[in-house]
Amino acid sequence: MPVAPHAWAAGTSVALTRSAWFSTSISDQAGAPPGTLPVELPDSTGVPKGDDVVAFTEDQSGNSSKETLLFFTLPKATASSTITEFTVTATLDPAPTAPQAAAAKAPVMACLPTRDWPAGEAQDSSQQPTVDCSSGVGGVWHGSTVSFAIPKLAQSWVDDANLGVALVNDPKNKTLPFQAVFKGGKAIHATLAFQASPSKPSHPSHHHTTPPQSGSHHQANGGGGGGGGSGGGGSFSAPTPTVNLPSGGATTVNTSPESKSPVVAASGSAAQPRNAALGGTGKASTLPSAGFWTVAAALLILLVGAGAALSPRNAVAPTRASRSRLDRLLRDPERLASLTARSQP
C-alpha cells in the first residue's frame, strides 16, 4: 500500500538564513546618458545598516545598480517533494533616514542567481553573481509591501542547488529610475507549502519454486497453452520431475515449470551416470513400458466384455405370443398324437 504523502499547511514560515546586497557606483554606469539620472537618487552609503535595497539608475541595459540576494534554508522534509507555495514578502523601511526614490510599485523582479555568493552589505558589483530571469517573477505591491510568489524557483532548489533568490530591476524596465530600501533580516518573511512524494510500495517476488498445481494453465511468453489448441481454454498440469538422486553429496534439483527437464548437479564422486541407478549394467531396462501395460489392460477388458455379451444367459427367450402354432403343436405330444390319429383313415 502506498504511504500517504505528507503535506505542509500553507503559510508555514521559513527563516531567512543570510542576505547580501551589491552596488554599482553612479560613475561606473556608463550606459546612462548625461542628464538622465535624477539628482535625488541617493548613493549606496545612504542605506541604513541591516536594510536591503534594489535600485535602477540607467536606461540602456536594464541592469540593476543595486540588487539584493536572499537565502532560505528549506526543511529536510522537502527533499524529493513538490513545492506548491513559496512566497517572499518585503516591506519598505519607513524610517526617514531610508533613502527611497519612486519606491512604491517599483518594478522589482525575483530571479535565480547562477552561483553562490557571500553575505554582506554594500558589496561591489564586480563580486555579485549573474542572475537568470528566464523564469523571473515580478513583485505584487500592496501599499508599502511587495510579495513574490516563486514556487517554481523554490522547486529548483529542491531539484538542483539552492542558491537563493535575487531581487533585481525588471530587465524590461529601462526608463524608470528608482530605489527601494527594504527592512532586512527578520522583517523579510517567506511562507512555504509542499507535497511530499509518496513512497513506492515494495512488491513481493513472484518467482515460483514449485510446479503449478493440477488443472492450472501456465502460459509463457504469450504461448498458446497445451495440446495443439489455438489459444483455447484447455488446461494441463505440469508433470513433477522424477530424479534418481545419487547417494551422498549435495544435489540441486530445478523444478521450475519453465524447465523442460530436471537438472541434477552432484559434487565429487556422488555424481554417477543415470544408468547406474538401473543396476549398474550400463543397459537400459528391458521391462515393458507403462504404455504397453495400459494397452494390454484395455484389450483384456474388451475381451471380457465381449464374452459377457455373447453368454447364453443373455439370449432373449421367445415369448409365448411370439411362438407359431406349429411350434406349440410340436411342443405338445398329446395334441400331436390326437391330431395324428384323426388324420389316419
| Contact predicate 84/8, CB 8 Å | no
> What's the pLDDT at 3?
41
User: Is 278 contained in some domain?
Assistant: no
Below-50 pLDDT ranges, the chain: 1-5, 26-42, 200, 202-212, 214-238, 243, 245-246, 249-253, 255-257, 259-282, 315-318, 321-322
Element at 297 (helix H, strand E): helix 290-309
Distance from C-alpha of 113 to C-alpha of 14, rounded to nearest angstrom: 19
Name the nearest CA neighbour of 82 among 4, 157, 135, 162: 157
Give the count of domains, the chain. Answer: 1
User: Is 323 contained in some domain?
Assistant: no
> What's the pLDDT at 298?
86
User: Is 247 contained in some domain?
Assistant: no
> What's the pLDDT at 250?
47
User: Is 99 contained in some domain?
Assistant: yes
> What's the pLDDT at 63?
92
User: Is 190 contained in some domain?
Assistant: yes
Q: Cα torsion for 28, 34, 38, 44, to the nearest 10°? A: 10
Q: What are the φ/ψ torsions at residue 315 (nearest 5 degrees)? A: -70, 140
Give the domain extent around 143.
Answer: 12-33+44-196
User: Is 276 contained in some domain?
Assistant: no
User: Is 50 contained in some domain?
Assistant: yes
pLDDT in tens, 188-222: 999 999 998 765 454 444 444 444 454 444 444 44
> What's the pLDDT at 329?
64
Q: CA angle at residue 76 from 197 to 199, to 5 degrees?
A: 25
79's CB contacts (< 8 A; 6+ apart) are 158
> What's the pLDDT at 236?
43
- Beta pairing class for 66-72 and 108-113: unpaired
Q: How many CB atoms lie within 10 A of CB 156?
A: 16
> What's the pLDDT at 303?
84
Q: Cα torsion for 156, 158, 161, 163, to the nearest 10°? A: 70
User: Is 136 contained in some domain?
Assistant: yes
* Surface-to-core class of residue 67, CB atoms within 10 Å of its CB (0-12 exposed, 13-18 middle, 19+ buried): buried
> What's the pLDDT at 96?
84
